Structure 1
Amino acid sequence: MVPLMQTTLAGTVTLTGAGVHAGVETRLLLKPAPVDTGIVFLRTFADQAPRKISVSRQSVQATDLATVLGDKSGILVSTVEHLLSTLSGLAIDNALIEIDGPEVPILDGSAALIVAAIDRVGTVSQKARRKFIKVLKPVRVENGAAFGELRPYDAGFRVEVEIEFDHVEIGRQRFAANLTPAVFRRELAHARTFGFLKDVERLRGAGFARGASLENTVCLGPEGILNPEGLRCPDEFVRHKALDAVGDLALAGLPLQARYASFRGGHKLNFQVVDALLADRSAYAIVEAPEARRRDAAELVFGQPMPAFAPER
């Protein structure tokens, strides 16, 4: 069930670990935040004043191999997609994220450990209704054979992700589901990031993947999967791509009421669709969940939402 009211954390969540690209050990604190705060990063530095930034379209600095946030002063934090996906997937609207390093820890390469840590402290409902970005008309971005598209959808937020890789372990895979916290926990949270052995030397030479290992990445060699434990499910690859898409779409700044379909997508394409949507003011409206009555909660949220005039972020 999708909540009607805004939610935040019931306590502080602590996570530590190295980033997959920089390889730097980082401590992360997820804290409760007031109504209408949104998701805010507070980067603490040893030699300078802390910097704060809200997750929004304007905060995106790069989307090549990871989603990187920053402002006019420069980059603030990178590889935020798994964390944003978890907060979005669990319908957490407001949180302050304190981080003392350049990159969100990769942990085991999935969102499972973040979900487990949040579940240990729990979430609380707040005294304000949730706000959504309701897609009013199709918005599509194409990059060669790849595409991403948002379309109107009255039954919540639906993801339909299809991938295609020329590797015996992947091939063509598809995942589709209406996203709720229960679906996110069950279907997406466990899916790990993946990469190809042939790309490792090139990536590390360019300053990426320095923290990647078989502990946090599914690694594909010419003849198969190098991880001794194998896959967590046969289609773990497309499920992870769907997890990434949920996190990238959270860069809109509010949860979406829409259907998102992509083929051969990645961070850059996902964000290009968000950017195209928010650049066209006729393509969306900011709406508010109505007050609960006797009907099913999901129907109430996405049946006839009421217009809201809160500031866009």
Structure 2
Amino acid sequence: VPASWSLRERQPLCTALRSPEGPLIRTVEHLLAALSAEGVDEALVEIDAEELPIFDGSAVPWCRAIRAAGRIENGAPRRTIRVLRTVQVEDGRRTLRIEPHDGLHVSAHLALAHFGPLDWSGTITPDVFLSEIAPARSFGRYWRAMLGRAYGFVTRKPFLQGCGVRSAAMIVRGRILGGMRVADEPVRHRVLDLVGDLALAGHPIRGRLIAAHTGHELNHALVARLMAEPDAWELV
């Protein structure tokens, strides 16, 4: 299944792709984020299930595997999408915009009950991603995760198969079981997902992103809006 925004299929709690021939692949965002942050433009990923492994809920295992495997230069020039003007999408209090900038810079805000305002801002580089973003785990309320697994069992679909207290930051009674792995972990994971979803544009993006309460739906809406407005960017 090509990793393209045009093949994205709406699925709960993840990013999923469906090829024109029919196969569906779920939970691709952590791998795509790691590949993008590590500067990998082309990769062939072979799996034997509909859902990629969640591991510990972070992108660290993917980053380490990519670095261990190494990369091969293909000799082709690396082309990037340079943003020329501001593009914005919103849904109530959720907003996401991208504006011209040299490099990929993200400023993200998230407010959660019991946690208060959470913020992260920085330029995405391989080392920054590995140390500050990749360790942040998927998060959510425990009962909702278990409900998702039950849905997969009833429908006989591989949905959230690896989800559990060892593979996500589970929120129970207003706190994360075991504590946060990194400061402001939930908002950092939203940045992780955003980097992965942006990878579906097909080329690295150069721009400044300002995100408030963003999630997969808004991330994909921004990519689709950007692709639909060719005067807002150029391929360089």
TM-score, normalised with respect to structure 1: 0.70
Amino acid at match of 1:157: L
**Is there any run of 5+ residues in structure 2 with no aligned partner, and where?**
153-158
Which residue number corresponds to residue 169 of structure 2?
218
Aligned partner letter, 1:277? L
Q: Structure 1 residue 233 and structure 2 residue 182: aligned?
A: yes
Structure with a larger share of its residues in strand = 1
Per-residue CA distance 1:94-126 (angstroms, 9 max, x = gap): 111111110110011101111111221222333
Q: Deviations over 1:144-178 (max 9, x none)?
A: 0101111111x211111111111x2x321111111
Tell me the distance in 1 between the aligned counterparts of 2:219 and 2:23. 20
Higher mean alpha-carbon deviation, 60-69 vs 259-268, is at: 60-69
Deviation at 1:202, TM superposition (A): 3.7
Distance 2:128 2:161 in 1: 32
Change (3 A) 1:210 1:113: closer
CA contact (8 A) 2:83 2:100 kept: yes
1:56-106 CA deviation, whole Å, 9 max, x = no partner? 121111254100101233342110000000000111111111111101100
Task: Kindly indicate whether residue 98 of structure 2 is the aligned counterpart of residue 150 of structure 1.
Answer: yes
Relative contact order, higher structure (CA 8 A, sep 6+): 2
Question: TM-score scaled by structure 2?
Answer: 0.92
| Contact kept? 1:63, 1:271, Cα under 8 Å | no
Counterpart for residue 7 of structure 2:
59
1:186 corresponds to which residue? Answer: 131
- Pick the structure with more helix per residue: 2
Q: Which shows bigger deviation, 178-187 or 117-126?
A: 117-126
Q: Could you tell me which residue of structure 2 aligns to residue 258 of structure 1?
A: 207
* Greater radius of gyration (CA): 1
CA distance in 2, matches of 1:201, 1:127: 47
Task: Identify if the C-alpha distance between structure 1 residues 136 and 165 changes in structure 2 by more than 3 Å, giving closer, same or farther.
Answer: same
State the AA in 2 paired with 1:218: A
Q: Is the 8 A contact 1:89 1:180 kept in 2?
A: yes
> What residue is the counterpart of 2:34 in the other structure?
86
For residues 144 and 87 of structure 1, the distance between their equivalents in structure 2, rounded to whole angstroms, comes to 31
Partner of 1:177: 122
* Structure 2 contact 32–196 (Cα < 8 Å) conserved: yes
Q: How many pairs are equivalent?
A: 230
